[in-house]
Chains A and B, each alone.
Chain A
Amino acid sequence: MDQSPSIHYVPILLIFVLAAGLASVIILLSRYVGRHRPTKEKLEPYECGVEPVGSARERQSVKFYLVAMVFLLFDIEIIFLVPWAVIFKKALQDPAFQSLKWVLYGEMMVFMVVLLAGLFYVWRKGILDWSK
C-alpha cells in the first residue's frame, strides 16, 4: 500500500456509510416490525406511574454550564500539547536541534505550570465543588 496517505481515509467513509445504513435499517425496522397499540397514558413521560408534573425543560443548575466552559479551555490546552509530544523525542535526538532543546522543554513546562495554575484558580473559585 504505497498510495498517498489520503487514500487511507476511504475506508472511514466506507464504514460511515455502512454504520449509518445499519442504524437507519434498525430504526426503520423498529418502526415497522413491532406491534403498535399506543394509548394516551403509555405515551406520557414516565414518572414512576404518577401523572407528570410540569415540563422537564426547567432551568438546570448553572454548574453544568461552568463545567462545560472550563472543559473547553482545558481541552484546547491539551490539544496544544499533542504536537509537542509527537515531535519532542525526535527533536531531542536530532543533532540540528541541540541548541533549541532547552527552549522546547522549558516552554512546555512553563505552559504546564500555567495549566496547573489555571486549575487551582478554578478550584479556589469553587467551580469544582458540587455540594455547594
Chain B
Amino acid sequence: MTNLLLEWVIKCGVMLFILLTAVAYLTFLERKVMSWIQLRTGPNRAGPWGLLTPAADGLKMLLKEDILPTAATKWLYIIAPAISVIPALMTFVVIPYGGTVNLFGRTIELHVTNINIALLYIFALTSLGVYGLAIAGWSSNNKYSLMGGLRSSAQMISYELALGLSIVGVLLLSGSLDLTKIVESQISAWGGYRWNVFLQPLGFPIFFIAALAETNRTPFDLPEADSELVAGYHTEYSGMKFAMFQMAEYLNLITSVSLSVTLYFGGWYGPGVETYPLLGVFYFAAKAFVFIFIIMWIRFTMPRFRYDQLMKFGWKVLLPFAIVNVILTGTMIMILNS
C-alpha cells in the first residue's frame, strides 16, 4: 500500500514536471516554427540556439507588474486563471503513454492511474476549462474581455457537441471508456495496426477539427482574435496570471493531441514495442509531436474564421456529419456482427 502510494506520488510529480517543461518548450517551439515558416531566425539570444528562451520568459513574466484593475470583480478576477489551469493539469493522469515495463525490480504500468471511465473524466474536466475563460472575461469588466469570454464559451460548447459525438464512434468500436482498453482494442488485430483512424475515416477529421476549436487554435482562435479583440478574455491580465492562461492553453493542446493519438492512432504502439516496452513512451511522444507540429503548421498557414462562419461550420456541418458518423458506425457493426 505504501509502495503504491509512493509510486503514485512519484508518477504525479514526474508527470507535472514533464508537462510544465513541455509547455515551456512548446511556446519556444511555436515561435521557432513560426519563424521557420516565415523565413526568419526566431528567438536565438538566450542560450545556445535560444534554448533558454522559455526560462527567460518565465522570469520576465514573474517580475512583471501584477495589475488588479479597479473595475474588476476582484476575487473572481484572481481565481479565474486557476480555474482554467487546474483542470488542464489534471486531465493527463488517465492517459496511457506506454504498456507495462519492469523497472527497479517492480512492474510499472506506464500511466498514472487507470479508471474505467477515463474518457468521461477527460471530457468533464476539459468542459470545466470553459468556466475559467468565461469568468475571466466577465470579471475583468472590459468590453474586449467580455466579448472574448462570451465568444469562447459559445464556441467551445458548440464544438464540444461534435467532439462528443465523434468519440461515440470510437466507443462503438472498442466497447469501453477505459483508455488502456481502447488502445488494446486497436493493437489486438491487423498485427497491431487496426487503428481507429482507418475504421473512422469520417470520425477522425471531425474529432481533429473540433479539438482544434476546443483548444482555441487557429483557424478557431476567435476568443483572442488579436486584430479585433486586443487579446480577448485575457486582455486585462498581466504577469504570471497571463502566463497561467497560456499554460492552460498549451496543456489543453497536449491533452487533445494525446487523446488523438490514444483514440485514433494506436496510442503507444509501434514496431518493437513487445520486446522493448519503454519504446512505447517514445512512440507516444513522437506521434503527439507530429500532431503538435501539424497544428502549428495550420496556425501559420490558415486565416481566421469569421464568427458567423465558425458557428455555422460547427452546427451545420460538423454536427450533422458527426451524427451520420454514429449511425454509419452503428450500422456497420450491426452488419458485421450479425
Contacts and interface: CB of A to CB of B under 8 A. Distances in A.
Q: Do A and B bind each other?
A: yes
Given A20-B86, A43-B67, A14 B12 contact: yes
Given A44-B70, A45-B236, A36 B323 contact: no
B29 interface: no
Contacts of A34: 62-66, 239-240
A4 to B, nearest CB: 12
B67 A42 contact: yes
Which of A82, A90, A116 has the largest number of chain B CB atoms within 10 A?
Answer: A82
A52 B67 CA distance: 17
B13 interface: yes
Contact of B154 (A14, A20, A23, A68): A68
Given A45-B236, A81-B168, A123-B316, A27 B113 contact: no
A88 B115 contact: no
Interface in B165-205: 165, 168, 171-173, 175-177
Q: Which bracket fits the contact residues of B?
A: 35 or more
Contacts of B307: 130
Given A82-B177, A86-B171, A9 B113 contact: yes
SS of B interface (majority): helix
Contacts, number: 220
B157 A11 contact: no
A105 B330 contact: yes
A108 B330 contact: yes
22 contacts: A3-B4, A5-B116, A8-B113, A12-B93, A14-B12, A15-B12, A18-B16, A19-B85, A30-B62, A30-B66, A30-B240, A31-B66, A42-B67, A43-B70, A63-B154, A64-B153, A67-B157, A78-B165, A85-B175, A88-B333, A112-B330, A130-B307
Of all A-B residue pairs in the complex, the 7 with the closest CB atoms, nearest first, are A30-B240, A130-B308, A85-B171, A19-B89, A23-B82, A92-B337, A11-B113
